[in-house]
Chain A
Amino acid sequence: MTLNNSSSKIAKTEAWPNNSWENTSEPLLSMQGIEKYFGKAHVLKGIDLECYRGEVIAIIGPSGSGKSTLLRCANLLEEPTTGNVIFKGKDITDIRVDINKVRTKMGIVFQSYNLFPHKKVFENITLALRNVLGIKKADALKEAEFELKRVGLGEKMDAYPSQLSGGQQQRVAIARALAMQPDMLLFDEVTAALDPELSGEVLQVIRGLAEEGSTMMIVTHEMGFAKEVASRVIFMDDGQIVEQGTPSQIFDDPKTSRLQKFLSQVL
């Protein structure tokens, strides 16, 4: 069960990073000793994190704790000041690695959707298929249609993003990431800009992906959702991983006083 169960005709080459990562006990993604400074601000203070195929990791914590920065360090949208990011066994912080190839295998969805407003919905999806993966127009279109149906927006192919609700835009953004057939998906507070009803429809899509066995790292403020879909929850505070474990360990039996205090404030 992977994200690759679509109708796509994307040619599968075995070369890294397109190689299969099915029968291995190695982590899909491993972040080692990540430190990040923004000027003098010390945002990440030595993070070690491993993500295995099929895991759904929810990252929780107060605002400014470095959750989003950590997520963005995974696909090097932010470059860690020090530390290594190992993806499928290869250190992608090595400048000789083509980061664009890595990013096709590690989709990211943002809080503010970031759909391309000058492109129709299907063009948002086919843009990278055509210009990064070099897929033929007809095949890319088929792929876009498949992924849009998957997020329940099959009829919005020809709409412009501005004609959609926030929840629909975010689902298109998820479809756009899914179309690349990534090995894992990064979700950066994807429901933070949505009202409860609209965030519900987005969470439903992510829930479906979790059931299909997709590998995901989810930065979220929705504690109930984290508890429900995550296989592992990571609590961050002040640029460090303070506590991690299964949802029941984190939410029902928090060990550290910082997590206890955080949970008492948000639940």
Chain B
Amino acid sequence: MSSIEHLQSPDAGLKKRIPFVKPTGESRSISLTTLTLGWASILIPTLGSIVLFISRGLDDFRKIAASINSAELWFIAATATALGLVAIVLGLATYKKVDTKKARNQSITGALLGLQALVLSGVIFAFNNTDATRFAQNFLNFPQVINQLHNFWSGAMYTIILATASAVFGLALGMALALLAVSQKKVLRAPARIYVNVVRGTPLLLQLSLIYFGMSLGLGINMGVFPALVLGLSLHVGAYASETLRAGLQSVEKGQLEAARGLGLTYGKSMRLVVIPQGFRRVIPPLMNEYIGLIKDTSLVAFLGVSLGQRDLFSVASQGYAQFFNSTFYIASGIAYLVITIPLIMVVTYLERRMRNGR
């Protein structure tokens, strides 16, 4: 093909290869078809298998295993694979030929959904092809878990209370450390620096062990399980929060402090009324991320063997496992953690997006 021919008919190459797709406007309807197929290929296996599993029953792992190995599930996956493949082919064929941005996006989205459907179907085929009895017995064995649902509820409460109490004290400690860290005086910065580095440089489990056992055995202070855990977690999260807060305080323009001092406000009042409110606001999303991390870190208390008092979410799961040798307890606790953390993650995402768009 000469270069002049190419200029006159930019679609000539693709047209030759895929003759049934006409260029420009006429392929717009094919784009929409591609998008529809893409969605179908992803929705059919997800919704289809949910309906299948529920209709066959979830109350017994044998029923679940039968559903996994059923011909119906194979059929669902095969349908999804076929639809996904068609979506990919149509998407690739049309995305360069259509004449609107919207249609091009539809083609690309359809093809990508089809690709994801292929991956999903592949996983379904893999489970469908092997005997799922043992898997279902270990991971999808719900009755014993449901009997212990009240324990998961109290475990979730304990986890939230532990994390929240530690977050409150940790935030106060973090703010104090951050204010030291932004001081002009090295003699104030140094202790904050040392503390933060020691805490960041050692494992949380070690810190919790030292405080939990060290307090009672080493110092003879019997402060109880809950206060000891809150103390340990606060000291830990305080170090991390201080780094975040310090970054926030330092992100406030130097002119703000100067303007406040120029009006005769003392350094302390300038920080409290002008710098801290601005700096704190900017680091609310990362601080919330630290809170989310703290919620997960509370699971480490399970390794201290504090089974005497209340148990956190993960302790409930591991005790359930120890009692019944049923890994479904872990699955359930994972879901419980997600129920707590996902809303928080969504709030963080929302706040970050709002801040990016300027307030």
Mark A residues whose CB is within 8 Å of B. 75, 77, 100-104, 107-108, 110, 112, 114-118, 127-128, 131-132, 162, 173, 176-177, 180
B264 surroundings in chain A (CB, below 8 A): 100-104, 128, 132, 180
CB distance A132 to B253 under 8 Å?
A: no
Q: Does B269 contact A (CB under 8 A)?
A: yes
Q: Does B273 contact A (CB under 8 A)?
A: yes
Q: Closest residue to A105 on the B side, CB-wise?
A: B264
A117 surroundings in chain B (CB, below 8 A): 278
Alpha-carbon separation in the docked complex, A103 to B267 (Å): 13
Q: How many A-B residue pairs have CB under 8 A?
A: 62
CB distance B277 to A103 under 8 Å?
A: no
> In whole Å, how far is B278's beta carbon from the nearest beta carbon of chain A?
5
Q: Closest residue to B280 on the A side, CB-wise?
A: A118
Contact with A along B325-359 (1 / 0, CB 8 A): 00000000000000000000000000000000001
> In whole Å, how far is A231's beta carbon from the nearest beta carbon of chain B?
24
CB distance A128 to B278 under 8 Å?
A: no
A177 surroundings in chain B (CB, below 8 A): 263
CB distance A132 to B259 under 8 Å?
A: no
Mark B residues whose CB is within 8 Å of A. 253, 255-256, 258-266, 269, 273-274, 277-278, 281, 359
12 new A-B pairs (CB below 8 Å) besides A127-B273, A127-B274, A180-B264?
Answer: A77-B262, A100-B261, A100-B266, A103-B264, A104-B263, A108-B262, A114-B258, A118-B278, A127-B265, A131-B273, A132-B265, A173-B259
Whether A127 contacts B263 in the complex (CB less than 8 A), given A112-B255, A114-B255, A118-B277, comes out as yes
> In whole Å, how far is A117's beta carbon from the nearest beta carbon of chain B?
7
> In whole Å, how far is B279's beta carbon from the nearest beta carbon of chain A?
10
CB distance B261 to A116 under 8 Å?
A: no
A180 partner, pick from B256, B258, B261, B263, beta carbons under 8 A: B263
> In whole Å, how far is A75's beta carbon from the nearest beta carbon of chain B?
7
A116 surroundings in chain B (CB, below 8 A): 256, 259-260, 274, 278
CB distance A118 to B281 under 8 Å?
A: yes
Alpha-carbon separation in the docked complex, A56 to B191 (Å): 48
Q: Closest residue to A100 on the B side, CB-wise?
A: B264
A131 surroundings in chain B (CB, below 8 A): 265, 269, 273
Whether A103 contacts B253 in the complex (CB less than 8 A), given A118-B281, A127-B273, comes out as no
* Chain B contact surface mostly: helix
* Complex A-B: 28 CB contacts under 8 Å: A77-B262, A100-B265, A100-B266, A103-B261, A103-B263, A103-B264, A104-B264, A107-B263, A110-B255, A110-B259, A110-B262, A112-B253, A114-B253, A115-B259, A116-B256, A116-B260, A116-B278, A117-B278, A118-B278, A127-B265, A127-B273, A131-B265, A131-B273, A132-B263, A132-B264, A162-B359, A173-B259, A176-B263
> In whole Å, how far is B288's beta carbon from the nearest beta carbon of chain A?
19
Alpha-carbon separation in the docked complex, A104 to B256 (Å): 16
> In whole Å, how far is A203's beta carbon from the nearest beta carbon of chain B?
21
Alpha-carbon separation in the docked complex, A184 to B144 (Å): 80
Alpha-carbon separation in the docked complex, A162 to B278 (Å): 14
> In whole Å, how far is B104's beta carbon from the nearest beta carbon of chain A?
38
A103 surroundings in chain B (CB, below 8 A): 261-264
B260 surroundings in chain A (CB, below 8 A): 116, 127-128
Whether A77 contacts B281 in the complex (CB less than 8 A), given A114-B253, A131-B269, comes out as no
> In whole Å, how far is A40's beta carbon from the nearest beta carbon of chain B?
20
> In whole Å, how far is A143's beta carbon from the nearest beta carbon of chain B?
13
Q: Closest residue to B272 on the A side, CB-wise?
A: A131
A114 partner, pick from B256, B266, B273, B281, beta carbons under 8 A: B256
B274 surroundings in chain A (CB, below 8 A): 116, 127
Q: Closest residue to A76 on the B side, CB-wise?
A: B261
Alpha-carbon separation in the docked complex, A180 to B259 (Å): 13
> In whole Å, how far is B267's beta carbon from the nearest beta carbon of chain A?
9
In the A-B complex, the 3 residue pairs with the smallest Cβ-Cβ separation, listed nearest first, are A114-B259, A104-B264, A128-B263
> In whole Å, how far is B134's beta carbon from the nearest beta carbon of chain A?
59
CB distance A110 to B258 under 8 Å?
A: yes
Alpha-carbon separation in the docked complex, A112 to B256 (Å): 10
Alpha-carbon separation in the docked complex, A46 to B274 (Å): 35
Alpha-carbon separation in the docked complex, A103 to B259 (Å): 11
A118 surroundings in chain B (CB, below 8 A): 277-278, 281
